[in-house]
Amino acid sequence: MVDEKKNGRLRIAVLTVSDTRDFTSDTSGKFLVDAAREDGHSISKHCIEKDNVYALRAILSAWIADDQIEVVLVTGGTGFTSRDSTPEAIQPLFDSNIPGFGELFRRISFDEIGTSTIQSRALAGIANDTLIFCIPGSTGACATAWNQIIKEQLDINHKPCNFAELVRIGSH
């Protein structure tokens, strides 16, 4: 068996938050799974869950406790409609917030979609040495987050620093 810790691969879980998507129509979740695999990471879990605070917390709590998951990518539920509850569900689980992720995502996104980026509640944090990134549900937003922020931060060789090192240091 390949030692994933030595080769820099991380074990990633992907959660799509949606009341309408299934595996045939979930282009955002599929993008994240494919992008992570393309960059050499493994996918430990992949599921779709309706936008319900308690169901989301149950899934994330189990994944945070699972030592086979080092990173969780959540897509969807970060807007301002009455059904968007990802931040409310996930943020209380964080041991530490990563405010720079949401700030940087909105800065980069501004160049792509202008002031509409103000409606993004993208966020990230760490819980039990597990990195969690919550990304808007559009495939374009997932591509922006992965390609311009997350990809480098999950690369153990990215300098001067990266989150892969932190997961490795505090790893289970």
| Cα–Cα distance measured from residue 150 to residue 134, given in angstroms and rounded to the nearest whole number | 11
pLDDT at 105 over 50: yes
- DSSP lists the bridge partners of residue 97 as 125
Percentage of the chain beyond pLDDT 90 is 84
All domains in the chain, ordered by first residue: 9-169 (3.40.980.10)
Q: For position 166, what pLDDT does the model report?
A: 82
Q: For position 7, what pLDDT does the model report?
A: 58
Q: For position 107, what pLDDT does the model report?
A: 97
pLDDT at 1 over 80: no
| Cα–Cα distance measured from residue 79 to residue 168, given in angstroms and rounded to the nearest whole number | 32
**Are 68 and 86 in contact, with CB atoms under 8 Å apart?**
no
Percentage of the chain beyond pLDDT 70 is 93
Q: Write out pLDDT tens, residues 129-159.
A: 999 999 999 999 999 999 999 999 999 999 9
pLDDT at 3 over 90: no
Q: Across all residues in the chain, what is the average pLDDT?
A: 91
Backbone φ and ψ of 45, nearest 5°: -145, 155
| Cα–Cα distance measured from residue 76 to residue 37, given in angstroms and rounded to the nearest whole number | 20
Strand order, beta sheet including 42-49: 42-49, 11-17, 71-75, 130-135, 123-127, 96-97
pLDDT at 44 over 60: yes
Q: Write out pLDDT tens, residues 16-36.
A: 999 889 999 999 999 999 999
| Cα–Cα distance measured from residue 167 to residue 154, given in angstroms and rounded to the nearest whole number | 9
| Cα–Cα distance measured from residue 70 to residue 61, given in angstroms and rounded to the nearest whole number | 13
Q: For position 130, what pLDDT does the model report?
A: 96
Query: What is the reported pTM?
Result: 0.92
